[in-house]
Amino acid sequence: MTIVGIVGLGLIGGSLALDLRSQGYRVLGVSRKPQTCQTALLKHVTDEASTDLALLGKADVIFICTPIPAIAPTVRALVPHLSSAAVITDVGSVKAPIVEEITPLWENFIGGHPMAGTEAQGINAAQRDLFVGAPYVLTPVENTPARAIAVLEELVGAIGAKLYSCSPQQHDRAVAWISHLPLLVSAGLIDSCLGEEDGEVLKLARCFASSGFRDTSRVGGGNPELGLEIARANREEILRSLARYRQHLEGLFEVIEKEDWQNLEMILQQTESGRKTFGNWSRQKP
Amino acid sequence: MTIVGIVGLGLIGGSLALDLRSQGYRVLGVSRKPQTCQTALLKHVTDEASTDLALLGKADVIFICTPIPAIAPTVRALVPHLSSAAVITDVGSVKAPIVEEITPLWENFIGGHPMAGTEAQGINAAQRDLFVGAPYVLTPVENTPARAIAVLEELVGAIGAKLYSCSPQQHDRAVAWISHLPLLVSAGLIDSCLGEEDGEVLKLARCFASSGFRDTSRVGGGNPELGLEIARANREEILRSLARYRQHLEGLFEVIEKEDWQNLEMILQQTESGRKTFGNWSRQKP
């Protein structure tokens, strides 16, 4: 039976552990914090847990579930403990820079991104079935061994996720559009409202803000560390999408300035029908 | 007892009628459509209903609940039927142009904006308690008679709404920030995503779009007629807020381009804490 190692027992790592254990895999967990290891054992999140990466010497597949900046250092620290057949994958939300950095370090590496999560963090937020029906993107490159791909495909299937496969660059460009750009567009909205210098108007705006503002500002008012991590990791694709967004916004500004209502109506008809081609909201938890 | 007239028996007009009737007011309704008048009587939304504005000759207060472009024509058609003591108000989501146009037509006019609603439209969407806890903005000007203000204040209190009073310009500037700008920012997001020319990336973006994209794109993917009506009615304030938004977005672009992570973190910390000063989400219906 495949032995799975997981480094980083937070929301994603812990939830992966729960689901894989429930599917009969043996799961070994590593966390920097002894407290987290204790919780993992107490709550039966993993079969074994340790603060020492040496525990993963017997693992066949290892998921690196740390924050993005810790992924490469973790792989470097892990390598001396592994047999060369072991497959390493990660769950970082950006792929090109990670794949570029890890590929030379470990032959049996394949980048991955399970696109599920909640606002909660840490092992206590870990839950079963977090990935059911959610996209799980694998980003193999030319030299990725077929066996590494096959092993991951099996595990993605085991947790009920929906498998996608694309290049790291395509992944990063797609998530810039639907995840990173929305965050910045939304942050810009809050930022510009706060810049209103008429105190009375700002006060009224605060009182009047309702579901439209609430939803449009949600991701821009989230955890600053997450926004920062994303911007650092996917900087180029974010700048590309932001530049394009700026052009489209300029287009909206111009049609309103020129009172070109026919064109504005056409754009708004396109955004109404276009939005329906994105996502599968019914699958989403509310 | 005050007799209330309502022109336009849609979601807002119908809901106002239901609440005011339940508070003991006599409510007379006018709709262009005979079918809507029948429904109003059948469902006891109004005490009387007609397609003829003459019905409102006995009304003490009249709410104009038509779409914005129909407000001034309705007042003009209504004037010959009214006693000079009758108070007219409207429920348009933009105030300065309406107040400017109606004030010379009728002395006892006061602009208003009940900030409640659902996506549903028409008399069948009308519901009790729609306005409970929601802001109801009155926009008196220098010459607005004190009695007109007092009459409206009483009715706003009767439906359980939260009364705000400000100038028409302050209203329009505040709603540009929290309602109209979010719509355009959100529409621009969808519009720019749809512009991605790499078909494979666009396909992936569509598959990966999740709650972040869903929420940020919601208001921009709504009814195009509504967006168009808003843009026409509040054009100047929308252009002002869009121009400022553009500057703040440019600021975000620059800090990311320069890899000025300290400044980006500061901005995102401000948007996180700043968002919490807007709205009262717990009051909102989900």
- In chain A, list all ranges with CATH 3.40.50.720: 3-166
What is the C-alpha to C-alpha distance for residues B97 and A76, in angstroms, rounded to an integer?
A: 66
Strand, coil or helix: what is B7? strand
What is the torsional sign of CA B103, B105, B109, B114? negative
Check residue A117 and give its pLDDT. Answer: 75
**Do the chains contact at B224 and A286, CB–CB below 8 Å?**
no
pLDDT by residue for chain B (286 residues), tens only, comes to: 899 999 999 999 999 999 999 999 999 999 999 999 999 999 999 999 999 999 999 999 999 999 999 999 999 999 999 999 999 999 999 999 999 999 999 999 999 999 987 777 899 999 999 999 999 999 999 999 999 999 999 999 999 999 999 999 999 999 999 999 999 999 999 999 999 999 999 999 999 999 999 999 999 999 999 899 999 999 999 999 999 999 999 999 999 999 999 999 999 999 999 999 998 765 554 4
Asked which of A208-222, A234-248, B115-129, B211-225 is least confident by mean pLDDT, the reply is B115-129
B167 close contact with A: CB closer than 8 A = no
Mean pLDDT of A20-43: 97
Partners of residue B250 in chain A, C-beta under 8 Å: 246
Q: Are B150 and B177 in contact (CB under 8 A)?
A: no
SS3 A78: helix
Share of chain A above pLDDT 70, in %: 97
> Token pair of A184, please?
């910045």
Question: Do B59 and B6 meet the contact criterion of CB atoms below 8 Å apart?
Answer: no
Query: pTM score, two decimals?
Result: 0.90
Nearest Cα to Cα of residue B189 among A171, A93, A265, A246: A246
Under CATH, to which class is A3-166 assigned?
alpha beta
Query: If pLDDT is split at 50, 70 and 90, which confidence band does A1 have?
Result: confident
pLDDT value for B282: 53
For the A170-283 domain, the top CATH level (class) is mainly alpha
**Predicted local distance difference test score (pLDDT) of residue A116:** 87
DSSP helix/strand/coil, B114? strand
User: Could you tell me if A284 lies within 8 Å of chain B, comparing CB atoms?
Assistant: yes
Q: What gap in Å lies between CA A61 and CA A270, rounded to an integer?
A: 45
Question: What's the CA gap between B48 and B66, in Å, rounded?
Answer: 18
Helices A181-194 and A235-257 meet at what angle, rounded to 10? 60
Contact A239 B220 (CB under 8 A): no
| Cβ–Cβ < 8 Å for A152, A110 | yes
Task: Give residue B286's pLDDT.
Answer: 40
What gap in Å lies between CA B192 and CA A173, rounded to an integer?
13
C-alpha torsion A121→A126→A131→A135, nearest 10: 20
Tokens representing residue B49 in the block: 């209903």
pLDDT at A283 over 70: no
Query: Is A170 an 8 Å CB contact of chain B?
Result: yes
pLDDT score, position A286: 40
Distance from CA of A162 to the nearest CA of B (A): 10
Q: How confident is the model at residue A282 (pLDDT cuts 50, 70, 90)?
A: low
- Scanning the structure block, which residue is given the tokens 């497959």? A87
- Domain B170-280 carries which CATH code? 1.10.3660.10
The CA distance from B27 to B16, in Å, is 9
Alpha helices in B103-234 (DSSP H): 146-158, 168-175, 181-194, 199-208, 211-217, 224-233
- Minimal Cα distance from B192: which residue of A? A245
Residue B227 to residue A264, Cβ atoms within 8 A: yes
Q: Where are the CATH 1.10.3660.10 domain residues in chain A?
A: 170-283
Query: Taking a C-beta distance cutoff of 8 angstroms, is the pair B105, B76 a contact?
Result: yes
Return the structure tokens found at A28: 């070994």
Domain(s) of CATH 1.10.3660.10: residues in chain B:
170-280
Query: What does the alpha-carbon distance between residue A44 and residue A52 come to, in Å, rounded to a whole number?
Result: 19
Pair of tokens at residue A85: 């057949």
Mean pLDDT of all residues in A235-260: 98
**Distance from C-alpha of A201 to C-alpha of A208, rounded to nearest angstrom:** 10
Kind and range of the H or E run holding A150: helix A146-158
Please check whether residue A78 is in contact with residue A102, taking contact to mean a CB–CB distance below 8 angstroms.
no
